[in-house]
Amino acid sequence: MNTRPPLETTSLPVVLSITFNDDCSCFAVGLNTGFRIFSSETCTQTTAREFNAGIGLVQMMGKANYLGIVGGGRKPKFAANKLILWDESKSKSALDISALTPVRGAQLSKEGIVVVLQNSVRVYKFAKPPSFITAYETANNPLGLCRMSPRIIAFPGRSAGHVQIVEISTSNVSIIPAHSSAIRALQLSPDGEFLATASETGTLIRVFSTRTCAKLAELRRGIDPATIFSLAFNPSGTMLACTSDKSTLHVFDMPKAKRLGRQNEDGAPEAPNDQGKWGILSKIPGMPRFVKDTYSFAQESFETGDEPSGGNQLPSESTTLGTMRLPKGVIGWLDDASLLVVGAGTNARWEKFILKEDTPGKRSLAKAGWKRYLADY
């Protein structure tokens, strides 16, 4: 029987949200008391802002001083229907954008601001005051799913399982029917050429070309349903990492990397290993589909924490951002050989993993360190 009080009755800071900046050199966390920013490589705190009130989302704009913040927790600093553009160099709000419903997510660039609501995505020009450009209807999107590259914006479509791709320069919209059930996670590669998606089922990850909308790969996380926490491409776009409520971090090769091939010690192209998880069985006609699918080439466990069961549920429309849903397993790549998994809650952890080559053509993941990143502050 769980007799622990609700998370935010504790006097300790509670992490409500986690976001990495564009190159994953740092990550920001929203707390029930303010927000903080940490260096990804060393997990040292670089910025702390105390409000004695909750911040449910902190979105960084590259390495600039501007941050997009939204109130959250049981005692929010700002209204849930308002995105604040915070100027950290001046320690004050620079401008704000109000909506009729709670803000679920945001994306920032020097060219524009994307505000994600429960059933729509609104695009603004970065100006003072912000100039509204256009809006797009979406299916129910309580997680605030949206990703932006210099070329495109990707977010859920009007129908469950669909994804909309918007070309920023032309406003042209393409629809990708990615899954038959609602989208649970989506991510763009650093160059914006690939889109990775996962549904609420969580067994398959699909990768699409953002230019042609063609499906490039179908990657199997597992056979049993799971809740996907995070998807992230490595900096060169040759690998994709995934975390889920199975407490496992998976890393997959991308199809582009396989087409180009690796090089052996003599500099000649190395033939990719296409035998897959099931080896020669995958080549036998009539075998079940899951035997033929592409699996991760490396996996390792990560810490999901022990928050109460209600802590990872989706927020309802009346719930302030961050009160009911605590992110876990948020991935950020430091470089093409190392990555982080960061969690929220009262026991928030930073974990570092490295890719290593055990034998020629055989790679694995190894945990290189971990830290309770609020413990020293």
Calculate the alpha carbon distances from 330 to 29, 80, 247, 299, 343 in Å.
Answer: 11, 23, 12, 15, 6
Amino acid at 311: G
DSSP code string of 324-360: SB----EEEEEETTEEEEE--BSS-EEEEEEEEEEET
Band (pLDDT 50/70/90 cuts) for residue 306 is low
DSSP, res 237: S
The three-state secondary structure class of 116 is strand
Q: In the chain, what are the domains? A: 110-372 (2.130.10.10)
Out of 4-13, 145-154, 267-276, 343-352, pick the least confident.
267-276
Band (pLDDT 50/70/90 cuts) for residue 62 is confident
On the question of pLDDT at 299 being above 80, the answer is yes
Band (pLDDT 50/70/90 cuts) for residue 316 is very low
DSSP, res 150: S
Identify the pLDDT of residue 252.
97
Q: What angle do CA 155, 71, 75 make, to 5 degrees?
A: 140
Q: What is the mean pLDDT of residues 201-212?
A: 96
Out of 83-92, 156-165, 266-275, pick the least confident.
266-275
Do strands 239-244 and 362-372 pair parallel, antiparallel, or not at all (unpaired)? unpaired
Band (pLDDT 50/70/90 cuts) for residue 128 is confident
The neighbour count for residue 181, using CB atoms within 10 Å, is 11
Which residue shows structure tokens 């989506």? Answer: 186
Band (pLDDT 50/70/90 cuts) for residue 304 is confident
d(CA 38, CA 25): 9
DSSP, res 312: B
First to last CA, the chain: 32
Q: What angle do CA 181, 228, 21 make, to 5 degrees?
A: 115
Contact 334, 24 (CB under 8 A): yes
On the question of pLDDT at 8 being above 70, the answer is no
Out of 71-85, 139-153, 269-283, pick the least confident.
269-283
More confident residue, 365 or 64: 365
Q: Find all residues with CB under 8 Å of 137, minimum gap 6, and list them.
A: 119, 120, 158
Give the global pTM.
Answer: 0.86
Query: Is 309 buried (19+), middle (13-18) or exposed (0-12) by CB count in 10 A?
Result: exposed
d(CA 222, CA 364): 18
Sign of CA dihedral 351, 355, 356, 358: positive
What is the average pLDDT value for the chain, to the nearest integer? 85
Q: Find all residues with CB under 8 Å of 70, minimum gap 6, and list them.
A: 30, 55, 56, 57, 78, 80, 82, 83, 84, 103, 106, 321
On the question of pLDDT at 308 being above 70, the answer is no
Band (pLDDT 50/70/90 cuts) for residue 208 is very high
Contact 191, 234 (CB under 8 A): no
On the question of pLDDT at 129 being above 60, the answer is yes
pLDDT in tens, 33-55: 999 999 999 999 999 999 999 99
DSSP code string of 29-41: EEESSEEEEEETT
Band (pLDDT 50/70/90 cuts) for residue 140 is very high
Q: pLDDT exceeding 70 applies to what percent of the chain?
A: 82
Q: Which of 53, 175, 66 is nearest to 110 (CA)?
A: 66
On the question of pLDDT at 305 being above 90, the answer is no
